Amino acid sequence: MVAPGDSQWGLLFISWLTALVASLAALFIGEVMGRAPCVLCWYQRAFMFPLAIILAVASFRADASVWRYALPLAAGGWLIAAFHTLQYAGVIPPALEPCGAGPSCTSGDMTILGGVPLPVLSLLAFTIIAALLALVNRRHDA
Amino acid sequence: MTRRLLVIIVAIVAAAVFAVGAYVYQHSYADQQSRIARAESNHLVRPHSPVIGPASAPVTIVEFFDPSCESCRAFYPAVKEIMAKHPKDVRLVLRYAPFHQGSDEAVSILEAARLQNLFLPVLEALLATQPNWAVHGAPNLRIAWQAARSAGLDIERAQRDAKRPEIEELLKQDVADIRVLNVKQTPTFFVNGKALASFGQRQLDELVRTEVEMAKQKAAGR
């Protein structure tokens, strides 16, 4: 375990806050607002939820070496969010799915707060987390 | 250590914000649904719908109901219990929300049973045997018909009746009303037009009790 400096801990802490807000927002939209997650949303959840937990533990223990575990998760989630965003934007054609197999990943339902697309928010969150973790790593080496 | 304290405080605050947000959202959603139900009250209760309990009861529970829905089955005893608590003051209006494959045929069995005055026994038989016939993706309505027969239904007549155009019309109307009232899941309850803020037996029980008391006060005041 490597004890981080103040600014490094701050970066770690903000990366956790990002993961926490993203996870709770996903739970709110899915469980409280009752909008079922589409398939790609589920994969992004699978990467975001563990980040909220391990970054909490790392912030608590002030363990900067967590980037080794967290950055791959953030990268995996980032790839899916990027794919989802491109699909939502119509750059990649969506896979044909039979009706009733769950909500579509590209429908107008994929927005919140009057039109902000959820895949873009997810991509933003994964980008912030990955960038902060990369910075934690750099200061960690220095 | 202050960092540790900060992490703990943030975790607690986040959980609290989530809980309060969920509470506020659910209540404002229920208010909105109640407002729609009040404005569109003709969509809430239709004369064609089956009614259980005294027709002139002051309190009306409207249940959007799917005979294939496990939660509706699980909730049925609770509804019965609530009705039994207020035998003179509460009636139940069932609206169909055929959200599952095969639900429409199950509804037609119920409607055919209504024509033979066997609505309740057939409803209970269908619910009792639901795990056998309402398999998701592969419903087997033959089993449902058999269950209806053992509840006393004249099957030959019922199968002719089930094809009546009125039943199809009724189902179409119910589905159209589901859209107007923004009903997304079954069972969905309205008590005198008021939606439940959060789903549960206790919540339904409390709302019914409040409405019954209000109705009694109103009657006494007159």
The per-residue pLDDT for range A70-95, each reduced to its tens digit, is 999 999 999 999 998 888 887 777 66
Alpha-carbon B14 to chain mean position: 34
The residue of chain A with its CA nearest to that of B7 is A60
Kindly state the tokens that stand for A39.
């398939």
Distance from CA of B142 to the nearest CA of A (A): 24
Torsion of CA B54, B57, B61, B62, to 10 degrees: 70
Indicate whether A74 belongs to any domain: yes
CB contact under 8 A, B18 and A24: yes
Domain ranges in chain B? 41-221
Please answer whether residues B52 and B208 qualify as being in contact, where contact means their C-beta atoms are separated by less than 8 angstroms: no
pLDDT recorded at residue A100: 46
The DSSP secondary structure of A45-83, one letter per residue, reads HHHHHHHHHHHHHHHHHT-GGGHHHHHHHHHHHHHHHHH
Give percent of chain B above pLDDT 90.
27
**Predicted confidence band of residue A99 (pLDDT cuts 50, 70, 90):** very low
Kindly state the tokens that stand for A122.
């997810």
Q: What is the C-alpha separation between A86 and A13, in angstroms, rounded?
A: 30
Distance from CA of A94 to the nearest CA of B (A): 24
pLDDT digit string, tens, across residues B106-151:
899 999 999 999 999 999 998 999 888 888 778 888 888 888 889 8
CB contact under 8 A, B7 and A34: no
Rounded to two decimals, the pTM is: 0.71
Check: complex ipTM more than 0.90: no
Residues 6+ apart with CB under 8 A from B83: B52, B53, B61, B90, B92
Residue B18 has pLDDT above 90, yes or no: yes
Write phi, then psi, for B60 (nearest 5 degrees). -115, 120
Q: What is the C-alpha separation between B143 and B121, in angstroms, rounded?
A: 16
Is it true that the peptide bond before B58 is cis, omega within 30 degrees of 0? no
Indicate whether A1 belongs to any domain: no
Mean pLDDT across the stretch B9-27?
Answer: 92
pLDDT recorded at residue A95: 61
Please answer whether residues B92 and B49 qualify as being in contact, where contact means their C-beta atoms are separated by less than 8 angstroms: no
Kindly state the tokens that stand for A61.
């223990």
Which residues from chain A sit within 8 angstroms of residue B10, using beta carbons? 17, 20
From B3, B11, B25, residue closest to A56, measured CB to CB: B11
Give the number of domains in chain A: 1
Residue A137 has pLDDT above 70, yes or no: yes
pLDDT recorded at residue B181: 85
The residue of chain B with its CA nearest to that of A25 is B18
Kindly state the tokens that stand for B198.
């959060």
The contact set of B with A (CB < 8 A) is: 3-4, 6-8, 10-11, 14, 17-18, 21-22, 25-26, 184-185
Residue A101 has pLDDT above 60, yes or no: no
Mean pLDDT across the stretch A107-133?
Answer: 84
Which residues from chain A sit within 8 angstroms of residue B22, using beta carbons? 28, 31-32
CB contact under 8 A, B18 and A16: no
pLDDT digit string, tens, across residues B31-69:
888 888 887 777 888 888 899 989 888 999 999 988 888
| CATH code of the region B41-221 | 3.40.30.10
Mean pLDDT across the stretch A10-36?
Answer: 90
Q: What is the C-alpha separation between A136 and B7, in angstroms, rounded?
A: 18
- Answer with the residue of higher pLDDT: A47 or B73: A47
Residue A102 has pLDDT above 60, yes or no: no
Whether A138 contacts chain B with CB within 8 A: no
Mean pLDDT across the stretch B178-184?
Answer: 84
DSSP secondary-structure letter at A107? S
pLDDT digit string, tens, across residues A33-80:
877 788 888 999 999 999 999 999 999 998 889 999 999 999 999 999
Indicate whether A99 belongs to any domain: yes
pLDDT recorded at residue A1: 56
Kindly state the tokens that stand for B202.
């206790």
- Answer with the residue of higher pLDDT: A53 or A139: A53
- Answer with the residue of higher pLDDT: B185 or B149: B149
CATH value at residue A117: 1.20.1550
CB B79: neighbour CB atoms within 10 A? 23
Q: Which residue range(s) make up the domain with A73?
A: 6-141
